[in-house]
Amino acid sequence: MGRKKQAGQLRGLSDRTSDIILVVICLFVMLLVAYPLYYVLVASVSNPYDVYAGKTFLLPSEFTLSGYKALFADNSIARGYINSIKYTVIGTVFSVLMVYLAAYPLSIKDLPGRKFLSIFFIITMYFGGGLIPTYLIVKETGLINNMWALFLPGGVGVGNMIIVRNFFEHSIPKEMVEAAEIDGASKWTTFVKIVVPLSRAIMAVMVVFSMVAYWNDWFTAMIYLPGQEQAPLPLVLRNILIKSSASASQASTISGGYAELNKMTEMIKFSSIIVAAAPMLVIYPFVQKYFEKGFMAGAVKG
Amino acid sequence: MSKSRAAAAVVKRGSGKSVSKRLRSYWQLYLMLLIPVVLTIVYKYIPMYGIQIAFRDYKASRGMWGSKWVGWKWFERFFSAPNCVRMIKNTVLLSLYSLLWSFPIPIILALLINQLRFNKFKRTVQTVLYAPHFISTMVVCGMLRIFLSPSGGLINLIAGTSIDFLSESSAFRTIYIASGIWQDAGWGIIVYMATLANIDASHYEAARIDGASMFQRIRFIDLPELVPQIVLMLIMSVGSLMNVGFEKVFLLQTDLNKATSDVISVYVYQQGIENAKYSYSTAVGLFNTMVNIVLLIAVNKITSKISDDVSFV
């Protein structure tokens, strides 16, 4: 034993040393990932002049919530928030329903036409009509300025459907389904009474994926919902985060300094980032183990 | 238990039933598929059929199927557009550099994190690394604009400079790629971690008794196990090489960085949605898709020679 251990030390670093190096690397990577978010959080509650002067690298200076107050003083933000919540809830329910409705039949091995139907869906993962033909069809089906333009065209998430189908195939005990059918339950009853309750873990994953996608989406809304009243939060933030920054930098080059108004805009930028990112950042750690398992179910069997 | 086994036997016999009998007992399953199939036909397949407007002169009054055929007119116009070469070059280079930088990082991170022996710490690292994936591109680009601002931006504060990074076309690719890694490298480790979690712990014990160092355990146990997954991910990435992320380029593009940020997908959007040149935009988009398909087939051929046990789809 002793000699072998020595040989190991000769060949490379000892386990303890490499463990320490590993932990240091991981801490450094975590810092790189988390610090930008932390900095924004600190800056959002600090005096903007101190942020500008670089005094808020670690802790807030002159704690204030005026950025958040100013943010919500603007009606469009509150409206965007409500719109985003509405779209996220309806979109998530609809998407998960579509994924389930498609995934279950395709998980039944002897369903006639199963292979054809699978290919029918999978093709759309790799080929599509592209931006304009899709836009024109959405327009022809009367969905411009209609909330359902966000849900119907992309409603059938094929990647998610494959994950759920794999879960149905591998993780639902066949005996239970078969026993129910012997007892005279129809396919639909089996699905609702047995398969759905047994698939809560994968459903949690699908709910999170859909929620994140709808909460963060703005491109679909930008194309299909041109009306200001219907804009979801990220699209409203575009005016603050993307458009105003151009005008702010222009202003700084002209006057050579920031006016009070510009300072307020900067504060609003920080607080709007926190407000938009917070809901998903608070939710995901609770379902982390589910989506990690979800990937395991969908992982390639090497 | 024995009842369910008997049930299984009955069902097995049942699966030998004639197709028409099976169709009758499965009608509910087809009904379930109805809405997803209809949506897919209407919003995926009909638009695919609608790509033909790339060869027509689309007029709203005549519709997608009735406008005049014009052959390759729009493609010729694109290839003679002044920025055509620049756009193709920018698209390819931005994608290629992104792939080169972003592809290996999740693999390295997964291999390292997998070696962590304190489970609580391991979970914490993973949780933190996933975080940026859950943030909207809009918000990430907002953060980038703040951090890169010439006055009071984080990067300039740290470096003690006042460079307007978003006006420098030489900085654009670095900004795009670095922020992409920040946002998605952590998320990218999940698929690899899932594969590594399946490795039998006895391999590690045996290796440890034989005195293998951490590096040797990664090199000889973990890495070979990951190869099929790596190949699959590579095929998928190359297949979407030309699908350079529209959102981020669109949100970070300024008049001054266009020399490197002018890409096909943004052009397709501007020509199609903003200028309503439907046929022209579709033609440019179709060209983009064709390049993608060629790349996908090529890579699939190459990698299937390298590793036989990885099949596509």
Q: By three-state DSSP, how is residue B59 classified?
A: coil
In chain B, whose CA is at the least distance from the CA of A54? B157
B294/B273 same-domain check: yes
Q: List Cα–Cα distances, B70 to B48, B54, B63, B183, B304, in angstroms.
A: 19, 9, 15, 43, 40
pLDDT tens sequence across A194-241: 999 998 888 988 998 899 999 999 999 999 998 889 999 999 998 888
Chain B residues touching A34 at Cβ < 8 A: 128, 131
A83/A195 same-domain check: yes
Q: List Cα–Cα distances, A240 to A74, A76, A82, A248, A265, in angstroms.
A: 11, 11, 18, 10, 8
* Gap from A210 CA to chain B (nearest CA, Å): 11
Non-local (6+) Cβ contacts of A13 within 8 A are A21, B213, B214, B215
Chain B residues touching A117 at Cβ < 8 A: 33, 37
| Residue pairs spanning A and B at CB distance below 8 A | 326
- Asked if A26 lies within 8 A of B116 by C-beta distance, the reply is yes
pLDDT (0 to 100) of residue A246: 39
B58/B182 same-domain check: no
Residues 87-146 of B with CB under 8 A from A: 109, 112-113, 115-117, 121, 123-139, 141-143, 145-146
Number of DSSP helices (H) and strands (E) in chain B, helices first: 18, 2
Partner A contacted by B233 (CB < 8 A):
no
Interface mutation target, options B15, B33, B265, chain A, most CBs of A under 10 Å: B33
A53/A78 same-domain check: no
pLDDT tens sequence across B146-204: 999 887 788 888 888 888 898 888 999 999 999 999 999 999 999 899 888 888 888 88
* Gap from A152 CA to chain B (nearest CA, Å): 7
B117/B222 same-domain check: yes
- Asked if B131 lies within 8 A of A112 by C-beta distance, the reply is no
In chain A, whose CA is at the least distance from the CA of B29? A105
B39/B151 same-domain check: no
Who has greater pLDDT, B229 or A34? A34
A120/A45 same-domain check: no
In chain B, whose CA is at the least distance from the CA of A280? B134
The beta-carbon neighbor of B142 closest among A137, A269, A284 is A269
Q: What is the pTM of this model?
A: 0.86
> Count of domains in chain A?
2
Q: List Cα–Cα distances, A157 to A91, A96, A127, A188, in angstroms.
A: 12, 9, 14, 22
The beta-carbon neighbor of B211 closest among A8, A122, A299 is A8
Partner A contacted by B66 (CB < 8 A):
no
Chain B residues touching A39 at Cβ < 8 A: 154
- Asked if B135 lies within 8 A of A281 by C-beta distance, the reply is yes
- Please check whether residue B289 lies inside any domain of the structure: yes
Partners of B69 in beta bridges: B56
A116/A12 same-domain check: no
How many Cβ atoms sit within 10 Å of the Cβ of residue B195? 24
- Asked if A175 lies within 8 A of B5 by C-beta distance, the reply is yes
Q: List Cα–Cα distances, B250 to A10, A164, B128, B165, in angstroms.
A: 54, 33, 28, 16
pLDDT (0 to 100) of residue B123: 92
Name the phi and psi angles at B23, rounded to 5: -55, -40
> Count of domains in chain B?
2
Which residue range is the domain that position B65 belongs to?
19-71
Interface mutation target, options B56, B213, B244, B312, chain A, most CBs of A under 10 Å: B213
Inter-residue contact A22 to B112 (CB < 8 Å): yes
Chain B residues touching A234 at Cβ < 8 A: 136, 138-139
Report the range of poorest mean pLDDT among A21-30, B27-36, B231-240.
Answer: B231-240
Which ranges of chain A would DSSP assign to H, the alpha helix? 2-11, 15-44, 48-52, 66-73, 75-107, 114-126, 131-140, 158-171, 174-182, 187-190, 196-198, 200-216, 219-224, 233-238, 244-255, 260-298
Chain A residues touching B208 at Cβ < 8 A: 15
A249/A112 same-domain check: yes
Answer with the one of B51, B71, B91 that is the final residue of a domain.
B71
Residues 182-201 of B with CB under 8 A from A: 182, 186, 190-191, 193-195, 197-198
A75/A58 same-domain check: no
Give the DSSP H/E element, type plus range, for residue B190: helix B169-196
Partner A contacted by B2 (CB < 8 A):
no
In chain B, whose CA is at the least distance from the CA of A16? B214
In angstroms, the CA B33 to CA A26 distance is 46
Low-confidence ranges of chain A (pLDDT < 70): 1-13, 244-261, 296-302
A155/A234 same-domain check: yes
A58/A74 same-domain check: no
Q: How confident is the model at residue B75 (pLDDT cuts 50, 70, 90)?
A: very high
Answer with the one of A64, A88, A110 that is the final residue of a domain.
A64
CATH assignment at residue B171:
1.10.3720.10
B43/B126 same-domain check: no
A29/A120 same-domain check: no
Answer with the one of A64, A79, A105 that is the final residue of a domain.
A64
Q: Pick from B233, B111, B268: which is nearest to A25 by CA?
A: B111
B177/B135 same-domain check: yes
Partner A contacted by B69 (CB < 8 A):
no
B299/B153 same-domain check: yes
A276/A133 same-domain check: yes
pLDDT tens sequence across B77-129: 999 998 999 999 999 899 889 999 999 999 999 999 998 888 899 999 999 99
Provide the token pair at A100. Answer: 């389930």
- In the block, tokens 């919902």 appear at A225
How many Cβ atoms sit within 10 Å of the Cβ of residue B26? 19
Partner A contacted by B151 (CB < 8 A):
yes
pLDDT (0 to 100) of residue B245: 78
B113/B163 same-domain check: yes
Answer with the one of A47, A64, A81 that is the final residue of a domain.
A64
- Please check whether residue B9 lies inside any domain of the structure: no
- Asked if B142 lies within 8 A of A300 by C-beta distance, the reply is no
A144/A119 same-domain check: yes
* Gap from A127 CA to chain B (nearest CA, Å): 8
* Gap from A223 CA to chain B (nearest CA, Å): 7
Which residue range is the domain that position A36 belongs to?
1-64
pLDDT at B141 over 90: yes
Question: What is the DSSP-derived secondary structure letter of residue B213?
Answer: -
In chain A, whose CA is at the least distance from the CA of B272? A132
How many Cβ atoms sit within 10 Å of the Cβ of residue A184? 7
Interface mutation target, options A58, A132, A135, A141, chain B, most CBs of B under 10 Å: A132
B29/B103 same-domain check: no
- Please check whether residue B10 lies inside any domain of the structure: no
Q: How confident is the model at residue B217 (pLDDT cuts 50, 70, 90)?
A: confident
Q: By three-state DSSP, how is residue B283 classified?
A: helix
pLDDT (0 to 100) of residue A7: 44
A233/A292 same-domain check: yes
B155/B98 same-domain check: yes
CATH assignment at residue A227:
1.10.3720.10
Q: How many CA atoms lie within 13 A of B55 on its CB side?
A: 8
B107/B36 same-domain check: no
